[in-house]
Amino acid sequence: MVYGNFLFFINLSFLLLMRANPTIPLRKDRNECPSCGLLFRSSYAFDKHRTGRYGIDRRCKSIEAMLASGMEEGSGGFWISAPLLARRGLKGILGGEGH
């Protein structure tokens, strides 16, 4: 029995180590990239973060490529697929960044 508990402990530790941010709970549609460990607000945002063809050259986009595609790091370090429309509107009112 002791041996069985030990194996259970090892398995549990392994599952926790699989995540890059084991202390951050993933609620609702939030998720973590198993390859690079970045956090995403939605599975849609995660999909946007991945590029290439399945089984051939599927990979993570660089931070630069993510920013270039309109993605943005939101609150809590969770990336979003695009800035909120309200925020974009506010930027427009305040003069924005001109692009």
Query: Which residues of this protein are in contact with Zn ion, per CB under 5 A?
Result: 33, 35-36, 60
C-beta closer to Zn ion: residue 11 or 35:
35
Of 47 and 96, CB closest to Zn ion = 47
CB of 93 to Zn ion, least distance (A): 34
Q: How far apart are CA 35 and CA 41, in angstroms?
A: 16
How far, in Å, CA of 64 to CA of 74, rounded? 15
Contact residues for 37 (Cβ-Cβ < 8 A; gap 6+):
19, 20, 21
The smaller minimum CB distance to Zn ion, of residues 31 and 82, is found at 31
- For the CB of residue 87, give the shortest distance to Zn ion in the complex, in Å: 24
CB of 83 to Zn ion, least distance (A): 20
Q: What are phi and psi of 24, to 5 degrees?
A: -95, 115
